[in-house]
Amino acid sequence: MPPSRSKAWPWSRRTQIWDPPTVLDLILDSPLRAIIQFIYAIFLSLRGAPFKPPRNKPKVKIVCVSDTHTNTLPVPSGDVLIHAGDLTNNGTVEEIQRQIDWLASLPHREKIVIAGNHDSHFDPKSRPPQDNGRKLNFRSIHYLENKAITLKFKGGRKLNFYGAPAIPKCGGPENAFQYERTEAPWQNRIPLETDVLITHTPPQYHLDINLGCAALLEEIWLVKPRLHVFGHVHSGHGREAVFWDDGQRAYERLMRRKRGGVLLDILPSMAWIDAMKVVWHGVKGILWQRLMVGPAGGNGGMMINAAVVYQSTTEIGNPVEVIEL
């Protein structure tokens, strides 16, 4: 079981940025954004599924985990198992190989792994000196590092996967695949035909407690993958539908604006206009989807933060996410 909250929650302040913001944090930061975040989540739930699998072909069951940090755990069966990085704590060959051996022992037909910032061996810049020249045995696992792969499934189904480990800088040189937040390393990197995107970092404003990457968010607006699996920010665990529409753009623009705090949020501003656009497009999206095209649309996607450890700990506390494409 994950650790319990302090009795003072939600009216205390969080102690570090990797923990989820409390109600008090959200109110002091921006009550307008706090309200819109709540309303936006309701709109997403009412709009239903952003896509539905093809009716005349078998579904592909994808099992998603991330941030196991040397832990092993029960994993549901499926066609594909994805691990979105941070297999280990220290990133040594021994730690990584143990995780690979565990993943290889699972019954899933296809297994895909990317590295995370704690998996230091994969990045020559962060690799422990004692591991230089040592090799890993991936067995039947597909390791993706800025690489794409197409997998075939029953019924003639094909899915294109792309995996990349890079993250905005969050620690010292022992952390792998880091880049400065002012950089935009994702530009033109992700193939446009990608169905399933796997990154270690979340995109900004989606299951990231505001720690994700803005450059990644802009790039996936071009690609619009059906599924985006990531981890890194343990407290962002969960899933979120994306519809790639004007309502989502208004929401992201509002989240991007400078925080005004309680007093400045009361004053009329462009943030209020974006907030009204979120509400308008949310209502319109619900009416369109429910009354015109049914409960499931076809052009959206799903984002999954698959971190299985709880908040800023390395203890298992979040459920494994499963989705059908």
Q: What is the tens place of the pLDDT at every residue in 96-153?
A: 999 999 999 999 999 999 999 999 999 999 999 999 999 999 999 999 999 999 999 9
Number of domains in the chain: 2
Instruction: Give the pLDDT band of residue 261 (cuts 50, 70, 90).
Output: confident
Contact 31, 44 (CB under 8 A): no
Q: Residues 92, 217: one domain?
A: yes
User: pLDDT at position 1, please?
Assistant: 46
For residues 31 and 138, membership in a common domain is answered with no
CA dist 202 and 191 (Å) reads: 18
At residue 292, the pLDDT reads 62
Amino acid at 85: G
pLDDT of residue 115: 98
Whether 314 and 177 share a structural domain = yes
119 within a domain of the structure (yes/no): yes
DSSP 292-323: IS-S--SS-EEEEE-B-B-TTSSSB-SPPEEE
Strands 321-324 and 238-242: unpaired
* 200 touches 166 (CB < 8 A): yes
Residue-level pLDDT at 228: 98
In a domain, 107, yes or no: yes
- 110: domain CATH number is 3.60.21.10
Average pLDDT over residues 246-269: 88
Task: Decide if 12 is inside a domain.
Answer: no
Instruction: Judge if 24 and 73 occupy the same domain.
Output: no
pLDDT at 6 over 50: no
pLDDT of amino acid 9 = 55
pLDDT tens-digit series, residues 59-97: 999 999 999 999 999 999 999 999 999 999 999 999 999
What is the three-class DSSP state of 117? coil
* pLDDT tens sequence across 183-215: 889 999 999 999 999 999 999 999 999 999 999
Name, in order, each residue with C-beta under 8 angstroms of 56's C-beta and a sequence gap of 6 or more: none
Q: To the nearest whole number, what is the mean pLDDT of the chain?
A: 92
Which pLDDT value is given to residue 16?
A: 86
Tell whether 170 and 65 lie within a shared domain: yes
Does some domain include residue 237? yes
Q: Tokens 């040189």: give the residue.
A: 173
313 and 293 both lie in a single domain: no
Query: Do both 97 and 197 map to the same domain?
Result: yes
- Whether residue 251 lies inside any domain: the answer is no
pLDDT of amino acid 177: 97
Answer whether residue 267 is part of any domain.
yes
Mean pLDDT of all residues in 8-20 = 77
Residue 36 has pLDDT above 80, yes or no: yes
Residue with tokens 């205390």: 12
Q: Specify whether 72 is located in the same domain as 214.
A: yes
Same domain, 159 and 40: no
Q: Region 10-18: what's the mean pLDDT? A: 80
- Residue-level pLDDT at 10: 59
27 and 123 inside one domain: no
More confident residue, 289 or 206: 206
Domain extent for 90: 59-244+301-324
Per-residue pLDDT, 258: 84
Enclosing H/E stretch for 97? helix 93-104
Banded model confidence at residue 295, pLDDT cuts 50, 70, 90: very low
How far apart CA 181 and CA 179 sit, in angstroms, is 6
**Within a domain: residue 54?**
no
Residue 133 forms part of a structural domain: yes
Same domain, 162 and 283: no
Statement: residue 315 has pLDDT above 90 = yes
pTM score, two decimals? Answer: 0.93
**Model pLDDT for residues 161-180, shown as the tens digit of each residue:** 999 999 999 989 999 999 99
33 and 138 share one domain: no
